[in-house]
Structures are given as structure tokens and as C-alpha cells.
């Protein structure tokens, strides 16, 4: 049986419904893989408090707290990789990138409106991402665009029925630092990377295994493509 359950072509952009680990290797070379894979963290507990936190509840329900196989970040298939990760995944993701790419930085999204919960920890007000690159795929952009951190508000989880939608200003900033023309997001979710890539004039390929999120991504990427066409 094919790993590809569906493929939707939107202009030069392609969205695949299916398993990232089976599909990403057969797509071949991309200039950048930009991914927001399932985080690995302790999302259980907090009782009634957690019920009140819509995004965290969705993360648990959709099993987005189980981590991912790092081997999907493959320097033989991409010139650079942008990888979001939870605070607790930083050591293992850094170790993988250090062994596979020439340089990397730890950047992040500083949340303007974090959940007002800290317990015996810090506020959950930062989401980290690594940008790693091989020779020839060094970070692009002006000095201002080369800041490591970007501030933005949390997108409402209910809007796309997804607990980890990345805000447009964050994804737009990341695109300013990408070298090359082709961007793949193997854990596309609702298509936030695709929307930003198309706005930046790049060619996008996305993979998502959840049919509901895939449908949302198709709608969002189609709208971004039509808006780019209208602007051209």
C-alpha cells in the first residue's frame, strides 16, 4: 500500500496526506526542512487546571506530547533545517544537529500572552527552535532579520482546532532567514509554514497524517497561493 493517502497540488506547491517518516525520504532534496514536530514533555497532570487549557488538552488528545524520530532531520535531504522543540528536548535535538550540520543556533518565539501558569517552574513563555545549516545554506536576511528571537501572540487554539498553530509573524521571520527556493514541512499541521513560505515566494511541500488538519492546510495554502497570485 502506498504511504501517500492523498496529494493536493496547488500551483507549484504540494501537500501530502500520510506518514512523514515514509513520505519525506521519497520527496528527495529540499533547500530547507522547516518542522514543528510533536514535542516530548509531561503534559499530564494539573487536573482541572489542564481541562481549562484548551491548547494543552488538544496536544494530549492528538498525541503531540510523544516526541519524534530525529532521523527525519537528514542533511543528505536538506541544506538547512529549522526545528521547533520543547525546552526538555533541547539537549537531544542539539546533539543530533551538531553531528549532522555545519553550524546551528537556538532561536525562539517569545510569547506576548503566555498561559498564566508556572507552578514550581518558569512561565511557559518561550518556544525554541534550532536553525541548522550546511555550507552554502547559511542564514539570509538583513541585520534586523537576523535577530534570534521574535515576539508574537499565541494564535487561538480553537481557530483551527489545533493546539500548536504557529503565528504568522514567527513563521514569516523564519522565512527571511532561509536560503534557497524549496521548503518542506513534514509535520505540516494546519499549514503555517506553507502560508509563510508562499508569502516569501518559496515553493512549499507539506506532509500531514491527520485528515482534519490536512484539510485545514489545503484551505490555508490555497488562500495564500491565491493571494500571492493576486499580488503578482
Ligand X SMILES: C[S@@+](CC[C@H](N)C(=O)[O-])C[C@H]1O[C@@H](n2cnc3c(N)ncnc32)[C@H](O)[C@@H]1O
Q: Least distance from C-beta 25 to ligand X, angstroms?
A: 12
Q: Least distance from C-beta 175 to ligand X, angstroms?
A: 13
Residues within the interface to ligand X (CB under 6 A): 19-21, 36, 38, 64, 162, 164-166, 187, 189-190, 192, 207-210, 213
Residue whose CB is less far from ligand X, 98 or 153: 153
Other CB atoms within a 10 A radius of the CB of residue 156 amount to: 10
Residue whose CB is less far from ligand X, 138 or 212: 212
Residue whose CB is less far from ligand X, 103 or 125: 125
Position of minimal CB gap to ligand X: 189
Residue whose CB is less far from ligand X, 96 or 162: 162
Q: Least distance from C-beta 189 to ligand X, angstroms?
A: 3
Q: Least distance from C-beta 208 to ligand X, angstroms?
A: 5
Contacts of 162 (CB under 8 A, 6+ apart): 58, 62, 189, 190, 213, 216
Amino acid at each position: 500500500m502506498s504511504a501517500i493517502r492523498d496529494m493536493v497540488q496547488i500551483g507549484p506547491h504540494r501537500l501530502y496526506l500520510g506518514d512523514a517518516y515514509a513520505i519525506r525520504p521519497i520527496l528527495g532534496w529540499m533547500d530547507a526542512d522547516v518542522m514543528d514536530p510533536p514535542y516530548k514533555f509531561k503534559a499530564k497532570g494539573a487536573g482541572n487546571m489542564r481541562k481549562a487549557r484548551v491548547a494543552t488538552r488538544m496536544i494530549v488528545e492528538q498525541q503531540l506530547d510523544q516526541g519524534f524520530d530525529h532521523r527525519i532531520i537528514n542533511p543528505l535531504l536538506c541544506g538547512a533545517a529549522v526545528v521547533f522543540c520543547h525546552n526538555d528536548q533541547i539537549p537531544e535535538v542539539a546533539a543530533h544537529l551538531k553531528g549532522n550540520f555545519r553550524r546551528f543556533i537556538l532561536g525562539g518565539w517569545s510569547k506576548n500572552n503566555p498561559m498564566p501558569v508556572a507552578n514550581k517552574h518558569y512561565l511557559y513563555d518561550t518556544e525554541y527552535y534550532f536553525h541548522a545549516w550546511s555550507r552554502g545554506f547559511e542564514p539570509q536576511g538583513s541585520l534586523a532579520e537576523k535577530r534570534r528571537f521574535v515576539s508574537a501572540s499565541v494564535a487561538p487554539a480553537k481557530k483551527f482546532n489545533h493546539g500548536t498553530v504557529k503565528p504568522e509573524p514567527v513563521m514569516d521571520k523564519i522565512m527571511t532567514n532561509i536560503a534557497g527556493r524549496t521548503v518542506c514541512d513534514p509535520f505540516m499541521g494546519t499549514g503555517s509554514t506553507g502560508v509563510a513560505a508562499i508569502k516569501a515566494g518559496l515553493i512549499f511541500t507539506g506532509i500531514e497524517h491527520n485528515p482534519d488538519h490536512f484539510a485545514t492546510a489545503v484551505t490555508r495554502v490555497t488562500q495564500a497561493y491565491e493571494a500571492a497570485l493576486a499580488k503578482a
